[in-house]
Amino acid sequence: MTDAERRRAVAQLLVIRASGHAEDGQRRYPQWEHCNRDLERLLRSGVGGVILLGGSATELQQRCRTLRSWSDSGDLLLCADVEEGIGQRFEGATWLAPPMTLGRLHRRNPQRALNLAERYGRTTGDQAKRCGLNWVLAPVCDVNSNPDNPVINVRAWGDRPQTVADLVAAFERGLNAAGVLGCAKHFPGHGDTDRDSHLELPLISHDRSRLEQVELVPFRRLIASGIASVMTAHLLIPALDEDQPATLSKAVLTDLLRTELDFAGLVVTDALVMEAISRRMGPQEAAVQAFAAGADLILMPADADAAIDGICAALAEGRIPESRLNESLRRRADALQRSERNPVDEAAPILETEGDRDLSMELVESSLEIQGTGAASHPERKGVNLIRVDGVLPCAFLRSGAAAISTLERHGYRTLICHDRGIEPWNANPDRAAPLDLGRLGPGPVFLQLFLRGNPFRAGQQRPEPWAEAIQQLIRAQRLSGLAVYGCPYRWDTLRRLIPDNIPAGYSPGQMPEAQQQLLEKLISGPRAANQQRDFTD
């Protein structure tokens, strides 16, 4: 193999980041998303994969056509992080309630949860194909056994190993039926962390026995079912490797995943721009170490050219045997051949079917949890619709016409949105029993809405907030008219115990506008709707 041939072969193993928008000026994250000039250059030089984010589903269709036209071979792996359906990342497609929805439903009605999980995978796969994607970076196989997990949380299918294994297997059956590749992540398990690997390297201190009983259970199930790919986790697990993160560990990727678990598909790194890796070493050495450890595909290196240079040099010097390159190329070719049995339908006139919309609504309806016998009061004078968002505004689920804002305003409430980089509702010198600055909120009843789900890249930047004490303060002042929690089930399970029966309260795992609308209708219309919801879910 000549140097030029080797360089082109290595380039096939990179998966680089691109915006779903057509124009450079539309990129949401230009620090990670290549400009069009660099994208075309890299694809023409042999780069074999692209991960996309942003834009509409219709724009994504055209973007995938363009990217394929820039690739001389055209055999691209085109993927997206669409754990909650294509609409999570691309407007106009279906945004599904997060996987944790079905983990909670599985406790009450296992068979219904499994049926919905398979439909979840089929809808995600079908829409991926219609948009031009052939690879879905899901399902998350992490068992979210740590309620304080800032990065997995509702992305997981549950907090019990067998539940997660059953649900991800059902999701994968749906993806397979749609004819797209799936990806089990984040190996060997990111569920029991209280640190975010986007920002730092989490430590998993469990022994091998615990890993076998919890973390590895869902991965073993999907490997046995023939999942196309497995994504690594940026975690330090001394029981497996005392020195190297899993992504860079031969003990984890080759000895455990390849040899012991007998995984024959593609191993892809989690994004190498994440600080758990990028803080430790530069893009060239990170790519080399991941490839040497057993990864086939290098996802989002901080510098694509440096990653290619590094792996080529390691191969030329004998640091990595040429056979490793050939093995990875073969696995990549096998995956593409598998996806090409059901080619993408880029000319599909309909991106979202009636069945897709029905699934979205059923997931929301099945996940709502309502308590209380009353309805939220309609204030004689303006009340306060107090909304807490645990991310940075603007956000996709809370635009000006979103139900969380418009529904309450129609009933006489004025909206006050607080977040950690803007309006603060707290007293300057907070009293533990009375943390809210009620004077700042203004008069009238308070309907409290909390959007809390854990956000990557935000861990450690948000201080704990005393919402339990705030709720008790509002109850003592006879000002709490209702509570809605969207996202994290653990916060809901704690806060719901504080609410007396005469005050309506409810929970939705989903934060999207449809979930807001359905939950608020139940809370504002009173016990009749709440009882109907209980009949539907129990």
Residues catalogued as catalytic: 198, 270
Cα–Cα distance measured from residue 315 to residue 167, given in angstroms and rounded to the nearest whole number: 40
- The two beta strands, 434-436 and 426-431, are antiparallel
Residue with tokens 């089929």: 122
Q: If you write DSSP's letter for every residue of 50-103 in order, what string do you get? A: EEEE-SBHHHHHHHHHHHHHHSSS---EEEE--TT-GGGTSBTS--PPPTHHHH
Is cis: bond before 456, omega within 30 of 0?
no
Nearest to residue 289, comparing CAs of 333, 241, 332, 340? 241
Cα 431 → chain centroid? 36
Q: Where are the beta strands (DSSP E) in 134-262?
A: 135-136, 183-187, 229-232
Nearest to residue 207, comparing CAs of 238, 251, 253? 238
260 Cβ partners below 8 Å, 6+ apart?
none
Cα 444 → chain centroid? 38
Instruction: Tally Cβ neighbours within 10 Å of residue 537.
Output: 16
Cα 214 → chain centroid? 21
